[in-house]
Structure 1
Amino acid sequence: MSDKGPLVTAAATACALGAAYYAYNVYKETRKPKLPEQWKQVGTLKEIYVYPIKSCGPVLLNKVECSTLGPKDGWLRDRFLMVVDREYNFITARAHPELLLVHPQVKSSVLSLKHVDMEPLHVNLAEIIELQTPKTAKVWGTTVPVYDCGFEPSEWFSRLLNRSGDNFRLVYYASQKCRELRTTPNSFYKFTKNDTGALPDEVPFNLINEASVNELNSRLKDCQVSVLNFRPNFVLSGAEPYAEDGWRYVKIGENVFEIIKPCTRCILTTIDPETGVRNSKTEPLETLKSYRQVTNPEERRATGSSPRMGIQMALRSPPGQLVSLNDPIYIPQ
């Protein structure tokens, strides 16, 4: 009798278990969660912001379309562009606060850049897509496909940031799919492959509660902050301070979002979005750290000492629907 029978059986069993495990993980990634059916209103949508270029200024809108990759209005997309160094590693206002004072606008396919100390610059994004071949850049260690926007924006940003000729490049996201998952936050939070957006730090939608910002300001002694310190897409008016801590889903108009994680805050909040000047006492971050720490021990291992302020969301209803100013904002009953 051959002694290969048990080995064949074991191999077949291992293959079957492997296939089952793979199928289960695919199911977890692609399954649609059962969405709440009963809702109660907690406030209204007061402001809508889109940030065309990562770490640069926002565009204030009256309405916006919700896509899997984030808010959009035609060619105006949220964090679809970013500035990179010579090696195509992303840079942000954490190290280059002057970026916050760059004011982008998008009309049709033309991106316009304005800064008080620079001449205006216009870039036709449609031409970039047509003429350029995708390259690769990196965001938080994750490789992303991008189009290089060419010499003129490179020279413009390089002069703005360090008066040199070619140290920085402007790139445009070259995909209609979410970028790959970053491994670190997934150790605790339940991201799927459709939750990362184009070039944001983590997720494609961010909501801030105006009342939470007001409550924070009541604790600050030598400065005051605005919602813009926290770079949200949506500003909620009418809720209680920090009520958002306990929410799992949010509905704005007819759009349903799942809250993936709290937004944990970094040094960027300490830079005045109107002037680009850092707060000398590292506020409001130090005050937030005194009372807005994550308390769950397992979650704390994922977030470290970064305090929470606002919520990170991914779209769960069909893409293509609009949200508008003064839309009611709901949570499950």
Structure 2
Amino acid sequence: MKSVQIVVALGATVFGAGVLLYIYKRRKDNFSKPSDKDWQYAGTLEEIILYPIRSCYGIELNEASCKKNGIQCGDLKDRQLFLVDDQNTPLFAGSHPKMWQIKSKLIDIDEIEVTAPNMEPLVLNIHKITYGRKEVIKCYGGSSISVIECDSEYGNWFSKFLLQKESGLTLFVCPFLGKIPFRKNLDLNPYMVMVDESIKDLNNRLPNKVHHWQFRGNFLIKNTNLPAFSEDNWKWMRIGNETIFRYKAPCYRCILPNVNPFTCERSPEFEPLKTLKKYRMKPGQIEPEMGIYFNIHKEGVIKLGDEVYVII
């Protein structure tokens, strides 16, 4: 009897080792270093968008540096600034649609001018607003991150516009991460890619078309010769001759795309989320997929019109 138990235990161990080996080999195959002969043309880079303030209007760029933590223009990083209310809840445009009316303009390599209707412009210099201020650890959505709390005058500007109150919001700077893990750890992924062919496919199913900005991607790829949602299977992506990205995860969509970025109004039909849930859901998911996240593999500079190549 004892010998039988030993055999069973050994069999289970071998089986478990076999499963682990299979998973390791599959992962290695999926993400082994890309070979030049494997690249295939996927389109051109139509848009580059930097979001200096999380969930606010973005800045369209002609070129950008792609670093470990996301798009960088001078000393300004993607989603480096964010707002938190007095309940320690980070703001996002899904619950505060007026955030789309807050626009930023590049003034210098480390400075933006922020505007909103009926508000005096606010100048934010990344070095000035963080000078002499210590980093603190904050916990958002179960994730602890290092941030710098800005002086109250900056948060008060946003409070007056978004809350119609003298205070209530605090502006933070995240010195290292391009994105903050507010909802899921997936938000840590530095680059979000949208493909025009997939936007067209969605719009063909909708009564009222949506704009790709509603999905807040960093890159829009156009002129692709691949079918809609082929990006679901992209393992690697190269923009231009040198900048290489590695697939990380799909983007699971919350209510944010239901907000029109031009009117700041929510869709009364709950679109496009309602339609996405009909055909972009996988078993066991509670949110549909639209767009993909990438991590950087090889840093570089990208420009509008650069050709995009992928490995599937």
The answer for the alignment partner of 2:80 in structure 1 is: 80
Identity fraction in percent: 31
The verdict on how the C-alpha distance between 1:178 and 1:75 changes in structure 2, with shifts beyond 3 A counting, is closer
Q: Structure 1's 232 and 181: CA in aligned 2 closer, same or farther, altered over 3 A? A: closer
CA-to-partner distance for each residue in 1:169-214, whole Å, 9 max, x for gaps? 1111133x678989966xxxxxxxxxx7xxxx23110110111111
Kindly indicate whether the alpha-carbon contact (under 8 Å) linking 1:42 and 1:330 is maintained by their aligned counterparts in 2.
yes
Counterpart-to-counterpart distance in 1, 2:301 and 2:93: 30
Aligned positions of 1:124-273 closer than 5 A: 124-175=125-176, 201-221=187-207, 223-239=208-224, 240-253=227-240, 254-273=242-261
Instruction: Choose from 316, 322, 331 the match for 2:297.
Output: 316
**Equivalent residue of 1:215, what SS?**
helix
2:278 maps to 290
State the superposition RMSD in angstroms: 2.4
Contact map agreement 1:50 1:59 (CA 8 A) in 2: yes
CA distance in 1, matches of 2:121, 2:77: 20
Distance 2:297 2:196 in 1: 24
Native 8 Å contact 2:258 2:267 kept in 1: yes
Asked if residue 42 in structure 1 is aligned to residue 42 in structure 2, the reply is yes
Q: How big is the shift at 1:117?
A: 2.7
Q: Which aligned runs of 4 or more in structure 1 are off by greater than 6 angstroms?
A: 178-184
d(CA) in 1 for partners of 2:181 and 2:254?
20
**Counterpart position of 1:16:** none
Residue 307 (str. 1) matches residue 288 (str. 2): yes
**AA aligned opposite 2:196:** E
The number of residue pairs the alignment matches comes to 279
- Distance across 1 between alignment mates of 2:138 and 2:36: 41
Work out whether residues 54 and 81 of structure 2, in 8 Å CA contact, stay in contact via their aligned partners in 1: yes
How far residue 87 of structure 1 moved from its aligned partner, in angstroms, is: 4.9
Residue equivalent to 1:89: 89
Using the TM superposition, name which of 267-276 and 106-115 deviates more: 106-115
Structure 1 Cα separation of the partners of residues 75 and 246 of structure 2: 25
Structure 1 residue runs without a partner (length 5+)? 1-27, 186-195
Q: Check the 8 A contact 2:250/2:292 in 1, yes or no.
A: yes
Whole-angstrom CA distance in 2 between matches of 1:57 and 1:323: 21
CA contact (8 A) 2:77 2:178 kept: no
- Structure 2 partner of 1:103: 103
Q: In structure 2, how many angstroms separate the alpha carbons of the residues matched to 1:326 and 1:34?
A: 25
Q: Using the TM superposition, give the Cα deviation of residue 91 of structure 1 relative to its aligned residue in structure 2, in angstroms.
A: 1.6
Q: Closer, same or farther in 2 for the Cα pair 1:273/1:287, shift >3 Å? A: same
Q: Could you give the per-residue CA deviations for residues 75-134 of structure 1, whole angstroms, max 9, x where no partner exists?
A: 221000100112543221121111111002232222311012322111222122222112
Q: 1:63 to 1:235 in 2, by over 3 A?
A: same
Alpha-carbon displacement from aligned partner over 1:222-272 (angstroms, at most 9, x marks no partner)? x21111011000001022311112211111112111111111111000000
Residue of structure 2 in register with 1:68 after alignment: 68
Q: What is the distance in 2 between the residues matched to 1:330 and 1:76?
A: 27
**Which residue type is aligned with residue 42 of structure 1?**
A
Separation in 2 of the partners of 1:123 and 1:44?
33
Q: Who is 1:53 aligned against?
A: 53
Q: Is the 8 A contact 1:88 1:136 kept in 2?
A: no
Aligned residue type for 2:85: D
User: For the residues of structure 2 that align with 1:277 and 1:96, how far apart are their CA atoms?
Assistant: 10
- The alpha-carbon distance between structure 1 residues 179 and 159, as it changes in their structure 2 partners (threshold 3 A), is closer
Alpha-carbon separation, structure 1, partners of 2:64 and 2:175: 21
When residues 135 and 106 of structure 1 are mapped into structure 2, their CA distance, relative to the original with a 3 A threshold, is: farther
Distance change (3 Å), C-alpha of 1:247 and 1:179: closer
Length-normalised TM-score, structure 2: 0.83
Take 1:89 and 1:136, find their aligned partners in 2: how far apart are those partners? Answer: 15
- Provide the residue aligned with 2:4 in structure 1: none
Residue 215 (structure 1) shift? 1.3
Distance 1:182 1:130, change over 3 A: closer
